Amino acid sequence: MAQVARALWPVRHAVVWRLGGRPQSALPAQSRAGFAGAAGGPGPAATTRKGNPRLLGAAALALGGVLGLYHTARWHLRAQDLRAERSSAQLSLSSRLQLTLYQYKTCPFCSKVRAFLDFHALPYKVVEVNPVRKAEIKFSSYRKVPILLAQEGESLQQLNDSSVIISALKTYLVSGQPLEDIITYYPPMKAMNDQGKEVTEFCNKYWLMLDEKEAQRMYGGKEARTEEMKWRQWADDWLVHLISPNVYRTPAEALASFDYIVREGKFGAVEGAVAKYMGAAAMYLISKRLKSRHHLQDDVREDLYEAANKWVTAVGKDRPFMGGQQPNLADLAVYGVLRVMEGLEAFDDLMRHTRIQPWYLRVEKAIAEVP
């Protein structure tokens, strides 16, 4: 049961992402004959008698109003065209891919992937994996989740590791490069973790493989790109490790967490009953080891609160998201990790005792409003 629990809560899992369209910077020319006629055609100003200040002033005011209306309408038309172009381009790319996400619903790494896919309006099929038998992913030598299969024409690609998946798919969306080429930028490599266990790591996992123009269009500057990468890594290396110690903090919380895991996961009747009680007991004990391993405070809630407030401070007061007016990959990563605690005592405490709730609700709304 401990193995099942580790699979469902913060352990490094594989993820696969895919992206659907390349934003275009060029704006098509608009027909503005109506506005031009109103702004430049004959009117009261043209027939006003010379030397009448009142009539001249009124004509100037009217002309100024027409020009203001013209520029406002022109701006709206250009904005609409840009959105339409981007939506059309993304739809074109996304229509090339058929995505299947193999997941545990309560896994924070899987949640990161879903947040990304949902925010980018990318359709995907979900396969819930049985954490005991894992029969659904018997095709894969990589035995962690999430796994994303992306069918692009005759090419079938498997993407592993949540951050690699996000980076690869975002690169695909922005650049339009073939996905099979993009995946080669993130080669796997064997490494030893802190416990002396061999693990698979991926090179360049927080990098988007863009040329200078694409990077400039997306980020505007190197500082924004560096900031996004830094906080995406922070979500993986620190924030995610605060989940298990907090959701299994007490026996009652551990039981509530496993009730949630069994309810949302894919278990048989007997498996579910065993997982709920034996798993809760096992993970309550394991959470104490995790607390020591990651050098957490006696009250692990304090580490969770500090992390949330640190994130809010990094976002700042002058922008709704770290990405500015829209969530960036760091926003989606932090949101995805925290979202798996919804409905549990740890989540309610987090919302009450930190400053993160306004930001969290903004991201939730931004995802919900995606057409």
Out of 35, 70, 102, 110, the active site residue is 110
Out of 35, 102, 109, 260, the active site residue is 109
Task: Delimit the domains of the chain by residue range.
Answer: 85-369
- Beta-strand pair 125-128/97-103: parallel
| Cβ within 8 Å of residue 240, ≥6 positions away | 10, 108, 109, 337
Residues of the chain with pLDDT under 70: 1-95, 269-270, 277
Active site residue 321: no
Out of 35, 102, 104, 284, the active site residue is 104
The predicted pLDDT at position 17 comes to 36
The predicted pLDDT at position 92 comes to 58
The predicted pLDDT at position 52 comes to 53
Active site residue 139: no
The predicted pLDDT at position 216 comes to 95
The predicted pLDDT at position 229 comes to 98
Helices 357-368 and 329-339: crossing angle, nearest 10°? 100
The predicted pLDDT at position 70 comes to 45
The predicted pLDDT at position 81 comes to 43
CB 244 within 8 A of CB 107: no
- Residue holding tokens 């990161």? 112
Which tens digit of pLDDT belongs to each residue from 46-89? 333 344 545 544 444 444 444 444 444 443 444 344 344 444 44
d(CA 251, CA 199): 31
Active site residue 107: yes
Specify the fold of 85-369: Glutathione S-transferase Yfyf (Class Pi); Chain A, domain 2 (1.20.1050)
Beta partners for 189?
201
Reported pTM = 0.75
The predicted pLDDT at position 320 comes to 98
DSSP string, 13-35: ---------------PPPP-HHH
Active site residue 109: yes
Out of 35, 70, 102, 107, the active site residue is 107
The predicted pLDDT at position 269 comes to 67
CB 89 within 8 A of CB 173: no
Give the other-Cβ count within 10 Å of 61's Cβ.
11
Helices 345-353 and 300-315: crossing angle, nearest 10°? 50
Which tens digit of pLDDT belongs to each residue from 198-211? 888 999 999 999 99
